[in-house]
């Protein structure tokens, strides 16, 4: 999560579905209609960095405040539950984390972190943590056994890694390989 972390910037540009709660004039270019207002209840996919700030920033309607003498607050948009946090998807993780395809989401674990930063969903974090440990131990086995990548379901598993897991695989594999090379090296 550092300022210079390219992966973090890329993860920030992944899109989340959201719904506008008010009509905003002139913002239609987000929806591919430049010049038009964006209507209330329009569903859009916005990058995380934009959606987050719009979902958090609250706007108050000052006229309402005076008339009704009650403080009404609303935000620009509401975040909807993305497909990869839907109950169906989470049930899939529960049943078999190893067959899960994270490749399309690229930075799944980072997105989970950002999501729980906003919503503090302990159940989700616990579930994903467990899935990560399951997947990581499988990954570790594969990174040790050099010739097993293409056997059975392993190829599918290797294609389903997200970018963090790919890096993990690479580092772990390199470490095992370095030690093996050192151990087998003949004295000169």
Partner 1 sequence: MSLPKSYQQNFSPQEINFLAEQELVTVIPRYSMNGAQLIGAKMPKLRALNREQIPLWLATLLKKQEKCNIVVPEWLSVEYLRVRYDEEIKYPSKFSNLPWHWLPIAKKLLDYASDDFIDPPHEIRSLLQDLREVRLVKARKGIRELNHVYIQLDGLSLMEINEIRPFILEVMDQLRKMNDSLKVKAEEEMPRQAAAQMDRDEDSDDDIYQKE
153-172 residues in contact with partner 1 (CB under 8 A) are: 164, 167-168, 171-172
Phi, psi of 84, rounded to the nearest 5 degrees = -85, 5
* C-alpha separations of 167 from 99, 107, 140, 157, 162 in Å: 19, 12, 12, 15, 9
Selected binder of partner 1 within 42, 75, 144, 154 (CB under 8 A): 144
26-85 residues in contact with partner 1 (CB under 8 A) are: none
Residue closest to 81 by CA, chosen among 53, 119, 108, 122: 119
Selected binder of partner 1 within 31, 116, 154, 160 (CB under 8 A): 116
Selected binder of partner 1 within 18, 46, 102, 128 (CB under 8 A): 128
Angle between helices 108-119 and 163-184 (to 10 degrees): 130
Selected binder of partner 1 within 53, 59, 133, 155 (CB under 8 A): 133
Residue closest to 164 by CA, chosen among 152, 172, 154, 153: 172
Q: With CB under 8 A, what is the number of residues at the site for partner 1?
A: 39
Which is nearer to partner 1, 38 or 131 (by Cβ)? 131
* C-alpha separations of 137 from 101, 129, 169, 185 in Å: 16, 12, 10, 28
How far is CA 16 from its chain centroid? 9
Q: Closest distance between partner 1 and the C-beta of residue 150, in Å?
A: 21
Any contact of residue 4 with partner 1 (CB under 8 A)? no
Q: Which residues bind partner 1 (CB under 8 A)?
A: 1, 109, 112-114, 116-122, 125, 128-129, 132-134, 136-137, 140-141, 143-144, 164, 167-168, 171-172, 174-176, 178-179, 181-183, 186-187
């Amino acid at each position: 999560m550092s300022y210079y972390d390219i992966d973090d910037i890329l993860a920030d540009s992944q899109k989340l579905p959201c719904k506008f709660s008010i009509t905003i004039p002139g913002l239609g270019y987000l929806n591919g209609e430049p010049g038009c207002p964006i209507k209330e209840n329009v569903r859009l996919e916005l990058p995380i960095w934009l959606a987050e700030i719009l979902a958090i920033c609250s706007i108050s309607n000052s006229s309402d405040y005076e008339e009704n003498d009650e403080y009404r607050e609303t935000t620009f948009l509401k975040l909807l539950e993305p497909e990869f946090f839907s109950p169906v998807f989470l049930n899939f993780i529960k049943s078999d984390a190893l067959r899960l395809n994270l490749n399309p989401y690229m930075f799944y674990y980072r997105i989970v972190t950002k999501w729980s930063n906003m919503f503090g969903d302990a159940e989700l974090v616990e579930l994903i943590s467990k899935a990560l440990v399951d997947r990581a131990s499988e990954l570790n086995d594969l990174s040790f056994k050099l010739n097993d990548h293409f056997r059975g379901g392993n190829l599918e598993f290797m294609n389903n890694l997200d970018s963090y897991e790919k890096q993990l695989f690479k580092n772990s594999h390199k470490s095992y390989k370095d030690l093996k090379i050192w151990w087998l090296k003949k004295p000169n």
